[in-house]
Chain A
Amino acid sequence: MKQRATILLGSAFVALAALAFAATRVVAADKVDPVADAKAFQNFFFQKFPDVKHEDFVNGPYSMNEDMKRQWQEKEEFPPYEFALDAGKEMFSTPFKNGKTYADCFPNGGIGIRQNYPYFDTKEGKVITLELALNRCREANGEAPYSYVKDEMASLTAYMAYTSRGKPMDIKIPDDPRALAAFENGKRYFYTRRGQMNFSCASCHVQSPGERIRAETLAPALGILNAMPIYRSEWSGMGTTSRRFVTCNSQTRAVPLEPQSDEYRDVEYFLSYVANGLPISGPGARP
């Protein structure tokens, strides 16, 4: 009898211990841990494509296909984004009507800072992207904001990215629950299926990089924003990060959100953070 009671008590103890362990695991799984997420994200791509140099992921589809890479390298001698770079440089240095310039709005006069965007503004409690900061700069100086999906914004960000080329992406997540929530929200947006095609961002850029979708070779998600803005032959012109998100949504038959909506800002924050350490390569050129 005593022996039976001991066995029962022992079993109950083991069951309780297992429950407690499981509960800890659930809490741990739900905890937002950007450092662990970034490490897992990068390792996934490094292991999936062991022959690709880590810094090459920022070159999108060219890192996945040798033939395409050679063609792109030749094209880089006279890159199609060159006109945008020149225009952006001129716009950047041309004073507003009040005599100030973009340089007055940014740290280090706006030169070599692309790798720090987007950042989390602890005063506002939101993610601030480079495109948003540029338009806020314009508005603060009495100028009308630019469209987030058109050439002027692409030219300005192209120039600023160019001044940061080679610098490692360096996105910070401050010790602020709102920043962690923004990161988590961006992650959720990235993995959530939407549109009639039932695609998430990850369906193409995690599950299928290097494969073709119609005539396009899909880029890996790792470092995908390091090359922004991009000249796309398909667009016959330049495109901003906002334009990229909008067109991705449309292609899945989802109605795009408004550019610089919280969701787009947060997904940019997530994707940029998990690419920390990889070099800025923008402006880029894509088929």
Chain B
Amino acid sequence: MKRSLALAMLLALSLAPSARAADEADYKAAYAAAEAASKGAAGLRNQWTVTVSALAAAKKAADGGDFDRAVAAAKEAEALAQASIFQAKTEKEAWKAMEIR
């Protein structure tokens, strides 16, 4: 019983931060991280259209005061940008596997 109570409290504590609504500071931090990753992808000449769209969606949501949605879109943009960076770095050598020889 004691153990179950402790586990339940732990679970409640772990969920507590995600239940808090995002504010402008959260959005700014998430957007800055996404923008930095996006610039990294563009620097590798491998920007994805979906990254640009997600960044735009984040800004639009923030402009409308919906910071939960803005943070979610910014995080998506960052993940997409990181994926495109990974792709560009991997393809520096991987393209050779597709070459007709």
Contacts and interface: CB of A to CB of B under 8 A. Distances in A.
Contacts of A196: 48-50, 80, 83-84
Interface stretch (B4-12, B17-25, B62-70, B88-96): B88-96
A255 B101 contact: no
Contacts of A242: none
Contacts of A198: 87
Contacts of A193: 87, 91, 94-95
Interface string B13-40: 0000000000000000000000000000
Residue among B91, B95, B96, B101 facing the most chain A CB atoms (10 A cut-off): B95
A111 interface: no
Contacts of B47: 254-255
Interface stretch (A10-18, A55-63, A114-122, A184-192): A184-192
Interface string B50-92: 1010000000000000000000000000001001100110010
A202 B83 CA distance: 21
Nearest to A207: B98
A200 B25 CA distance: 39
Nearest to B48: A196
B31 to A, nearest CB: 19
Interface residues of B, number: 21
B50 A194 contact: no
B100 A254 contact: no
A263 interface: yes
A195 B83 CA distance: 10
B48 A255 contact: yes
A195 B49 contact: yes
B45 A263 contact: yes
A253 B80 CA distance: 11
A96 interface: no
A65 interface: no
A40 B101 contact: yes
Contacts of A254: 46-49
B48 A188 contact: no
Contact of B95 (A40, A44, A191, A207): A191
A200 B98 contact: yes
A250 interface: yes
A41 B100 contact: yes
A225 B98 CA distance: 20
Given A194-B88, A206-B98, A254-B46, 18 more contacts: A187-B99, A191-B95, A191-B96, A193-B87, A193-B94, A193-B95, A196-B48, A200-B95, A202-B98, A206-B100, A207-B98, A250-B49, A253-B49, A255-B42, A255-B47, A255-B48, A255-B49, A263-B45
Interface of A: 37, 40-41, 44, 187-188, 191-196, 198, 200, 202-203, 206-207, 250, 253-255, 257, 263
20 contacts: A40-B101, A41-B100, A44-B100, A191-B95, A191-B99, A192-B91, A192-B95, A193-B95, A194-B46, A194-B88, A195-B49, A196-B50, A196-B84, A200-B95, A203-B98, A253-B50, A254-B46, A255-B42, A255-B47, A255-B52
Nearest first, the 3 closest Cβ-Cβ pairs linking A and B are A255-B47, A191-B95, A192-B95
